[in-house]
Amino acid sequence: MLQVKNLSKKFANQVAVNAVSFEVQEGEKLILLGTSGSGKSTCLKMINRLIEPTEGEIWLNGQNILQQNPERLRRGIGYIIQSTGLFPHYTVAQNVGLVPTLLKWDKVKINKRTEELLEMLRLDAKIYLQRYPHELSGGQRQRIGIARALAVNPPLLLMDEPFGALDPITRAQIQKDFQEIESLANKTIVMVTHDVFEAVSLGTKICLLDAGKIQQIGSPKELLFQPQNQFVEDFFQPARFQLELQIAKVADIQVHLRTEKKTSENLQSEQNFSLDSSLLEILEQTASHHSEQIISVLADAQQYLHTSREEILKGFYLWKATQV
């Protein structure tokens, strides 16, 4: 879908992006991760030509984007930034309907799409459509920014620290929505962040940059367990234990857990955990459990895995030993 080849950007004498290459397949979420000033935003902005590269090529669906009209290119790519970039004198409805209007959709279709998007992002259209950006909270603005970027259902979404300005609770909620809303879950996304947790939970692939150069590109698991150099290892080190627990899913340690058929007695102990739950999520949500208290995980329609915090941790270390 997207191919970036040997991309570089020089500002005066400074090399901001240095021979970066990556590919993003359809439906993939590539995270550009790195410290401040490592070139993440510059990389992203070259993809929709807000910045012109000094060197290199970018191909989108087999077409060289440097040979396309930049305005037309941008209408086909959703772009979400931390400050949302909403027009202050436009209502929510006008902001969300911006690109459809440029593309000359008819009014009825635009209204329908706008309402649908607000509903998808859990905002009541009746309440919010006629408001102006300053009449919204930061989190609501953020959602409208996302709605606007999704309006014409662009195949590619570029996001620059989209959840950066939010408090941890709103941020977690939006991140969760982001994974659960189907039209987002299937989208091809390139997202910039410096938050390692966000990178590991949302990314299918992480591209870790330092001083404009790729240090490693691969799955979150590869970067954590097979770091290619000292920089990569050090970058994750402060949060490593939690990140590893977040990457490990119940399915990974299933073989180490007890399995029981679902019965009417143990039905009461049902919890919202599934094979896809991360170990971190379970340990956090059961933090107040007594050590012997049972944690039930739905394995399939019939079967529950009954386990405990101790067993989960034991399973984790057994699994981890097979990863390195």
Ligand X SMILES: Nc1ncnc2c1ncn2[C@@H]1O[C@H](COP(=O)(O)OP(=O)(O)OP(=O)(O)O)[C@@H](O)[C@H]1O
Residues 75-94 that bind ligand X (CB under 6 A): none
Q: How far is CA 294 from the centre of its chain?
A: 32
Name the binder of 263 from Mg ion, ligand X, none, CB < 5-8 A by kind.
Answer: none
The C-alpha angle 14, 18, 21, rounded to 5 degrees, equals 155
Which residue from 7, 31, 39, 278 is in contact with ligand X, where contact means CB under 6 A? Answer: 39
Of residues 38 and 278, the one with the C-beta less far from ligand X: 38
User: Roughly what angle, to the nearest 10 degrees, separates helices 107-120 and 138-150?
Assistant: 130
With CB under 6 A as the rule, give the number of residues binding ligand X: 11
The C-alpha angle 232, 237, 242, rounded to 5 degrees, equals 120
Residue 99 neighbours by CB under 8 Å, 6+ apart: 75, 148, 151, 152
Residue 217 neighbours by CB under 8 Å, 6+ apart: 22, 205, 206, 207, 208
Beta bridge partners of 8: 55
Of residues 41 and 84, the one with the C-beta less far from ligand X: 41
Name the binder of 154 from Mg ion, ligand X, none, CB < 5-8 A by kind.
Answer: none
Q: How many residues does the chain have?
A: 324
Shortest gap between Cβ of 32 and Mg ion (angstroms)? 9
The answer to whether 162 contacts ligand X (rule: CB under 6 A) is: no
Residues 214-273 that bind ligand X (CB under 6 A): none
**Per CB under 6 A, which region of 32-40, 115-123, 243-251, 265-273 contacts ligand X?**
32-40
Shortest gap between Cβ of 287 and Mg ion (angstroms)? 34
Which residue from 2, 4, 7, 16 is in contact with ligand X, where contact means CB under 6 A? Answer: 16
Q: Retrieve residue 229's tokens.
A: 């150099």
Cβ–Cβ under 8 Å, residues 216 and 209:
no
Cβ–Cβ under 8 Å, residues 174 and 143:
yes
The answer to whether 41 contacts Mg ion (rule: CB under 5 A) is: yes
Backbone dihedral region of 34: left (phi > 0), alpha (psi from -120 to 50 degrees) or beta? Answer: left
The answer to whether 37 contacts ligand X (rule: CB under 6 A) is: yes
**Per CB under 6 A, which region of 30-38, 59-67, 70-78, 232-240 contacts ligand X?**
30-38
Q: State the residues that interact with Mg ion by CB under 5 A.
A: 41
Q: Which residues bind ligand X (CB under 6 A)?
A: 11, 16, 34, 36-42, 194
